[in-house]
Amino acid sequence: MMTPKERVLATFARQQPDRVPLNYSANPGIDARLKQHFGLQPTDGEGLLRALEIDFRGVGPSYHGPQRHASIPGLTIDEWGIRRRWIEHATGGYWDYCDWPLANATLEEVEQWPLPSPDDFDYSTIAAQAQNHARFAVTLGNAGCGDIINSISMLRTMEQVLVDLATAEPAGLRLIDRKLAVQWEVLRRSLEAGRGAIDVLWLGEDLGTQRGPTISLDLFRRQLRPRLQRFVDLGKHWNIPILMHSCGSSSWAFDDFAAMGIAAVDTLQPEAKDMAPAYLKHRYGDRLAFHGMISTAGVVATGTPAEVAQNCRELLATMMPGGGYAFAPTHALQDNSPTANVVAMYRAAQTHGWY
């Protein structure tokens, strides 16, 4: 048998491992129910990953800088100044982005907006974190690393960010570049601190709606690709694969992803336009590996355990041949997913994911 690390690295190199690698992401409600199902303490995240046979482990620096933005009652405000309020619903809740403090900001106001410094992060524990997970595929980053449209919209609104990109608005572009400069340096220092023990660099950029592209390919190539390339090149410098997150109908950018040196694509919402598993495997499987495809808005949330298991078996039959597929939800598993369905999802992969 391969170790989890060997399994993931073989998959991201589009080779056939012993078993399809498994990954996990979930909202707090379903996460708590899964821990209860397996008889775990509420804080035992590692125990849950082992119960689900997850092959990935994430590491990263912690923020130790000052509070750069004033508190507002009823909101949480992070070091970037992004404002969120908690919204409850029938099955749990979520953090809703609100207020958008830089929606109408001028170039001068953008320059003065407090952002964290790379010096505000503690990199001293990264090597130990990676060593503790030495058998697993150690990842650095997440879907919000290197992204523009999603994270900048949290400060400036989605509409304004798209206008900024299309018109090369100086204030918007300057905010983008200030944010990316901090993130790039944090990742660079983290990779150095990891001392070669980090296996995957995880980046992101949401490029699709359910029906098609969010922006044109030309605009992607003019404004996003050059900025994203710098992050990809950072991972290539350390000779580690790049996993690229993109929600929605994003396969229109996959040719560019492959040309940039990205190894694997994440999310892969099967209900979105041009994102059907068979299409992706046939069209891009010779150049890209895949991570995701188990829809959090589909049968896992709405079906029975038997239907979930059947859906997962069918997906594995499509994606497994030749390797290059990691089994994971398209996004964080949602609180409206029945516990039994999520258990059935992972049991199907544990049973039918062997080569």
Domains of the chain: 4-66+104-352 (3.20.20.210)
The confidence score (pLDDT) of residue 92 equals: 86
- pLDDT value of position 172: 98
Q: What is the pLDDT of residue 169?
A: 98
Amino acid in position 71: S
Q: What pLDDT, on the 0 to 100 scale, is given for residue 56? A: 99
pLDDT for 109: 98
Cα–Cα dist 126/278, whole Å = 38
- Per residue of the chain (355 residues), give pLDDT as tens: 999 999 999 999 999 999 999 999 999 999 999 999 999 999 999 999 999 999 999 999 999 999 999 999 999 999 999 999 999 989 888 899 999 999 999 999 999 999 999 999 999 999 999 999 999 999 999 999 999 999 999 999 999 999 999 999 999 999 999 999 999 999 999 999 999 999 999 999 999 999 999 999 999 999 999 999 999 999 999 999 999 999 999 999 999 999 999 999 999 999 999 999 999 999 999 999 999 999 999 999 999 999 999 999 999 999 999 999 999 999 999 999 999 999 999 999 999 999 9
Supply the pTM of this predicted model. Answer: 0.97
Beta-carbon count within 10 A of 96 CB: 11
Q: Which of 54, 46, 40 is nearest to 4 (CA)?
A: 54
Strands 264-267 and 242-246: parallel
Q: Where are the alpha helices (DSSP H) in the chain?
A: 4-12, 28-37, 45-51, 107-112, 126-132, 149-156, 158-167, 170-194, 217-219, 225-237, 254-260, 277-284, 299-302, 305-319, 339-352
The predicted pLDDT at position 237 comes to 98
Full DSSP string of 176-212: HHHHHHHHHHHHHHHHHHHTT---EEEEE---B-SSS
